Structures are given as structure tokens and as C-alpha cells.
Structure 1
Amino acid sequence: MQDINNTKENEFKLSQDASNRIKILLKSEDASFFRISVLGGGCSGFQYDFSFSSSPNDDDYVFNQDGISYLIDKPSMDFLVGSTLEYVSELSGAYFKIENPNATANCGCGTSFSI
């Protein structure tokens, strides 16, 4: 586990809307950490995954922002450097969306990407 607190070489940020939503979710899930991962699969090759955790794993980076602790594992971080997690609320629904400058293509639903 590495606490990197958004150092330049491993930068990942939360928008204010994402931060506010995660605070609410962490309380309702009674969890300590919000986990952001990249998994194989999805219509564009990779997909984003969001979950909760009570503790970090050995290969996790631990981020702290706006009073929130969130985790990204080392393999996922390779895909997410320079990205921002957004929380979008529209008439069609509310969801998390990652603005990823490393992605060369995204699917229409916004949950998968390719590099």
C-alpha cells in the first residue's frame, strides 16, 4: 500500500460533485474506502469498476482528497494517470464518469474504453 496523496506522477482527481456523492455513499455503505478499478472486458476493451472496501490491498495506491480516502490498484493506475472522476446527474439518471485523457475510444454508455 502506498499513500501518494495525488503526487504528480500518479495524478488522479475527484470532481467536487464526485467527492460529495462518494461521501454520501461511504456513509450508507459503512465503508472506509471507495475503490476505482479498471477491468478487462466491456464493449471497448476495458471497463471501469467502482466498489467499496474496508481496507487497502498491498498493491493499492491510497488517495486522500476532500476528506475521502479512495483506492486505485497499481495495474489500474497505469490506465488512469491524469484522469478525473466526475459525477453526472441528468434526466436519464446519475452515474460516475471518468474523464480519461489516455483513452483513445469510449463506448456510448461511458463505462468502457480502449487505449
Structure 2
Amino acid sequence: MSVPYEYAVIQAVPRVERGELINVGVILYCHRHDFLNARTLLHEQRLLALDPNADLDGIRAALKSWEITCAGGADGGAAREMKQGERFRWLVAPRSTILRAGPVHMGLADDPSAELDRLVALLVH
């Protein structure tokens, strides 16, 4: 049975003042399946085309932190105390940083993990 889910594309904006970005992942939340996950993929050449001085190691670390936050935080930080829905809302809240979430969209799926794979293939690869 298909159930509703919410997702947002994770975007890298290496120079906020220019407004240029590339899609680097997708975060998906499905309350009914108790599912929150982010899958990321950094296309280094595409990012360097926007900013040849982009800090690739820093961006990779920031992307990893999104995945850790989805899982509940490994360091005992604020994410550990949050419910999945709260962590999703925290990650997709508007921000002016090198990584941000695009608009939140909704859909229906039987398998949130398979749907996340489909969205990453469609929107990031």
C-alpha cells in the first residue's frame, strides 16, 4: 500500500552570493514507515566548475553530517533528542550555507528506501 512521504533535494551552493547550485542528494521522510534517510553524491567536477576553490573535503564532511543527523546523531548532539519528523524539519529549514535543502515535495510510495534510490537517480545522477 502506498503511503505519503516528504522529500527535498539537497543542494550545494559553493558561493551563496552567486546563487549557483548543484544537486548533491535527497532527504526523504516517511512517518508511517518510521523512515528518515539522506543519500548523497558529490559530483566534484560539476561543483568545481561553479567554484574552482570549493572546499571539497568540507562539503563531503557536511554531507556526511546530514546522513548522521537523519540516523539520530552519532555524537550525542541535539539530533539524538529529536524525533524523526523534527530532524527532517530541522534539516530542510531555510539556511544560507553551502548546503541547503530545496523546497519540500510530497509523494506516495510503497517502499521509502526504493523511492529514495529512484529520486537520487532522477534528481542527482
TM exceeds 0.5?
no
| Larger strand proportion of the pair | 1
Max Rg structure: 2
> Structure 2 length as normaliser, TM-score?
0.22
> Structure 1 length as normaliser, TM-score?
0.23
